Amino acid sequence: MENNKNISGMDLNHLPGMGYRCLNDKSWTMKFASKKCFELTGYTPDELIDNRVVSYEDLILPEFRNELWYKWQVAISNKTSIALEYKIKTKEGKIKWVFEQGEAVFSENGEVVFLKGFISDITEQKKTAKEKGKLQNQLIKSQKMETIGNLAGGVAHDFNNILSLIIGHSELLLKDVKDEKVKMSLNAILSEASRTKELVQQRLSISRNKQFHKEPVYIQNIVKEIITLLKKVLPKNIEIIQFLHNCGMVMADQTQLQQVVMNLCINSCHSMGKTGGELEIELKEASSLPIEFSESDKKLRYAVLTVSDTGSSIKKELLDKIFEPYFTTKDKEKETGLGLSMVGIIENHKGHISVSSELNKGTAFKVYLPLETNATAINNEIPPL
């Protein structure tokens, strides 16, 4: 009769996992399993031994079976021990990560008598490692943004010096010039210089956790303004389709939010290229968030802005990178890579953004902004839609 002790004499029933001996076959036919296999798999030793109810192979998720078999055969051939991580499915249908350490026992003539080892549940360790990795990624992102903030600050300082000269001299000239055409040109210079100063500040906001000048605004007003502008400048081969619903108010910096909406729309237009296509802009309310944002306050209602296109899709392996500063899929001569990273502004508005892309069907960005229940809007009344 098999006992419940390993070679060193340690009682396997007191260890947090399953000690085993099995045949070297693809069913992993168990000849011995310690009592703790019930905690690990949901099956008793009697149910596992000799595959009476289920084989251990049946517990291993299919995508791991061939790899495990191959690694075991290599270890046997080299007469080395083995350490493996893989997933199993318990009797209750629960998926667990397990860690297996084992080795083969050979007869005097070098034939495999059986395999022996120990299997433990590492699901919680895997979960902790994943969370740690997520925190590390957030830290790296924060460090990148801080570096870019310092760089942007220096660039902005130089630009502001130049723009101050342009604005100052233009204002002086306006006092002396009487020709109306010259005045119009000077006013145009002043207008563009002032707008450029705003853009510099918007670039700075990519990486700084600055407090924007937030006020209660109707986001549909902002979206409608952008659509009106886009209709004037987009090529005729791009059709704008809009589904705008009246939403409540959001606390936002209007200039920053305008920049986000504009960047999303322009990037969608770029993805359609010379062939053109459909730019769809939808705005509606939602009472909940997708699972990926489950840590957020579920009691809030959200304004959901969707900007989608029928252009070229984004490769799956690039989806996690597109919001990184300076990352771009375009030619370096044509694009700074700052466009999509501007949506980092959304985080400072306590919002969320997601992206989905499907081959030959285009890309869709969704922006979620929490609605304000008690506030008075400052950017006009609710517009008719």
CATH 3.30.450.20 holds for 12-121: yes
Tell me if residue 139 falls in helix, strand or coil: helix
Rounded CA separation 316/306 (Å) = 19
- pLDDT tens figures, 63-104: 999 999 999 999 999 999 999 999 999 999 999 999 999 999
DSSP state, 358? E
Question: Where is pLDDT greater, at 297 or 282?
Answer: 282
φ and ψ at residue 329, rounded to 5 degrees: -95, 0
Q: Two tokens at 112?
A: 């495999």
Q: Which pLDDT band holds residue 298 (cuts at 50, 70, 90)?
A: low
Q: Mean pLDDT throughout 134-149?
A: 65
CATH of domain 215-372: 3.30.565.10
Reduced to 3 states (helix: H, G, I; strand: E, B; else coil), residue 29 is: coil
The domains of the chain are located at 12-121, 128-204, 215-372
Which two tokens mark 373? Answer: 């229940």
Q: What is the pTM of this model?
A: 0.47
Each residue of 316-334: pLDDT tens digit?
766 666 666 555 555 544 4
Rounded distance between C-alpha atoms, residue 344 and residue 328, angstroms? 15
User: What CATH number does the domain located at 128-204 have?
Assistant: 1.10.287
Average of per-residue pLDDT values in the chain: 80
Q: In what order do the strands lie in the sheet with 18-22?
A: 30-33, 18-22, 112-121, 95-106, 82-89
Whether 353 has a pLDDT exceeding 90, the answer reads no
Summarised one tens digit per residue, pLDDT across range 3-41 is 444 434 445 555 678 999 999 998 999 999 998 899 999
Cα-based distances in Å from 196 to 202, 213, 214, 217, 238: 10, 18, 21, 24, 27
Q: Is the pLDDT of residue 302 over 60?
A: yes
